[in-house]
Amino acid sequence: MTAQIITQKVAVGISACLYNCPVRYNGRAFDALALLGRERADFVWTPVCPECLAGLGVPRMPVHLTGTGQEVLAGSAKVLDRRGRDHTEAIVAGCEAAISALERAGVEAFLAKEASPSCGLYKARVGRKRTETAGGSGVFGAMLLERGWFLIPDEGLANSLLWWDWRRRLHAWLWLKRRPAETNRDLYDSWHVVKFVVQETNRPRADAMGRALAALPKHPAPEELAALRTEMLDALRAPSTRPRIRGAMLKAYAHARKKGSLAGVDLHDLEMDALSERSRIDEVVHDLVGLERVSFENDLLFGPSPVIRRDARRVAARQLESESAND
Ligand code: SF4
């Protein structure tokens, strides 16, 4: 199956400290996007710092949560600094301001600094004492989770393998979100494109989705179709594990080498060595991303990513080439 193409630059919100903005409580920052290299230009980034928008300056005293972000939003927990001063109201206001900015930017995906009491998604330190380590959502993380956006913890940028998996699922998620879901056929066709990514991460979930689609009545209610599509979107958002991603990637790599379909094709800078000669997984990732590009340029039936992004001008040029070849 050739990959589906999206052409728009994907709007992604990002914790400002990951975007190399020195907004952390101690004035530090992380250049988390360095891993992406030139690929970072495929996205439109909107950095926000909820704590700065709360009016807390840099440097500032770090804050901690007495309960989860959800409990803070429900009014049953607080955000305190080391001296016990209550910043709950300001932090909630800062998080709301950040959400408003992201909505104005048309963002549907967010790259979050995990473990922060504000931006953390699942691992913020939560507890009565600052030193407690029970994991939960930060206040901003809790707001993000409510919105159903595509959320990526910064651990997703720990290496090129993890990022490759997050990116392909983000692109598939955005493509699926924009697809119609008005008939059974719409859903079957969409599922056919994205299902192998879900199968790799969670086979029982993928099988259950297949059964649910097969059991649809001939004329299902719109709510039934919408619920199934929501389940597909949720399944695409669920992270995979390193061994599974690696396994899927190596399988795709070996398949591409073996098939012989690359004979006579301009591979640009790709060498496609045997796996035994590829000691580093990031070299395999580099080759696979390159192969996705080569496959697009040559209409080849290859692609471990069901949906890839290509610049609109390249897509138009490719269409012209195909049309003139068919004349
Ligand atoms: S509030 Fe978020 S963006 Fe600001 S410093 Fe903390 S983790 Fe980074």
- Please write the tens of the pLDDT for every residue from 247-282: 877 777 777 677 666 666 676 766 666 655 556 777
Return the higher-pLDDT residue of 50 and 249: 50
Domain boundary among 199, 218, 237: 237
- The CA distance from 80 to 209, in Å, is 44
Query: What pLDDT, on a 0 to 100 scale, did the predictor assign at position 131?
Result: 61
Q: Are residues 152 and 163 in the same domain?
A: no
Quote the distance between the C-alpha of residue 154 and its chain's center. 10
CA angle 323, 42, 303 (to 5 degrees): 55
Return the higher-pLDDT residue of 310 and 92: 92
Nearest alpha carbon, ligand 1 atom 5: 24
Percent of the chain residues past pLDDT 90, beyond the cut: 61
Q: Are residues 137 and 172 in the same domain?
A: no
What's the CA-to-centroid distance between 318 and ligand 1, angstroms? 42
Domain boundary among 196, 211, 237: 237
Q: Is residue 301 very low, low, confident or very high in pLDDT (cuts 50, 70, 90)?
A: low
Query: What average pLDDT is seen over the chain?
Result: 88
Q: Is the peptide bond before 59 cis (omega within 30 degrees of 0)?
A: yes
Q: Are residues 107 and 178 in the same domain?
A: no
Q: Which of 22-26, 138-142, 239-243, 301-305 has the lowest mean pLDDT?
A: 301-305
Specify the number of domains making up the chain. 3
Q: Are residues 258 and 118 in the same domain?
A: no
Query: What pLDDT, on a 0 to 100 scale, did the predictor assign at position 107?
Result: 97
Which domain range does residue 92 map to?
4-156
Q: Tokens 């392909």 correspond to what residue?
A: 168
Mutate to test the pocket of ligand 1, among 15, 46, 64, 65 (most ligand atoms within 8 A of CB): 15
CA angle 207, 168, 109 (to 5 degrees): 105
What's the CA-to-centroid distance between 97 and ligand 1, angstroms? 14
Q: Are residues 297 and 255 in the same domain?
A: yes
Q: Are residues 135 and 208 in the same domain?
A: no
Q: Are residues 129 and 29 in the same domain?
A: yes
Query: What pLDDT, on a 0 to 100 scale, did the predictor assign at position 157?
Result: 93
Q: Are residues 130 and 266 in the same domain?
A: no
| Confidence check: pLDDT of 128 > 70 | no
Return the higher-pLDDT residue of 137 and 279: 137
Q: Are residues 167 and 134 in the same domain?
A: no
| Confidence check: pLDDT of 66 > 90 | yes
Query: What pLDDT, on a 0 to 100 scale, did the predictor assign at position 275?
Result: 59
Q: Are residues 61 and 166 in the same domain?
A: no
Q: Kindly state the tokens that stand for 212.
A: 């649910």
- The CA distance from 321 to 323, in Å, is 5
Mutate to test the pocket of ligand 1, among 116, 143, 144, 152 (most ligand atoms within 8 A of CB): 116
Minimum-distance ligand 1 atom for the alpha carbon of 120: 7
- The CA distance from 43 to 102, in Å, is 14
Let me know: does 239 contact 156? Beta carbons within 8 Å: yes
Mean pLDDT over 81-105 rounds to 97
- The CA distance from 258 to 253, in Å, is 9
Let me know: does 47 contact 82? Beta carbons within 8 Å: no
Closest CA to 73 of 137, 162, 4, 157: 137
Return the higher-pLDDT residue of 288 and 82: 82
| Confidence check: pLDDT of 295 > 90 | no
- The CA distance from 198 to 236, in Å, is 6
Let me know: does 172 contact 98? Beta carbons within 8 Å: no
Q: Tokens 């990514």 correspond to what residue?
A: 197
Q: Kindly state the tokens that stand for 243.
A: 């061994």
Amino acid at position 133, single letter: T
- The CA distance from 298 to 295, in Å, is 5
Query: What pLDDT, on a 0 to 100 scale, did the predictor assign at position 45?
Result: 98
Q: Are residues 172 and 136 in the same domain?
A: no
Query: What pLDDT, on a 0 to 100 scale, did the predictor assign at position 172?
Result: 94
CA angle 223, 227, 229 (to 5 degrees): 120
Laid out side by side, the sheet with 109-112 consists of 43-48, 10-15, 109-112, 150-153
In this predicted model, what pLDDT tens digit does every residue of 176-226 receive, in sequence order? 999 999 999 999 999 999 998 899 889 999 999 999 999 999 999 999 999
Closest CA to 158 of 20, 10, 282, 22: 282
Domain boundary among 203, 237, 271: 237
Q: Are residues 77 and 152 in the same domain?
A: yes
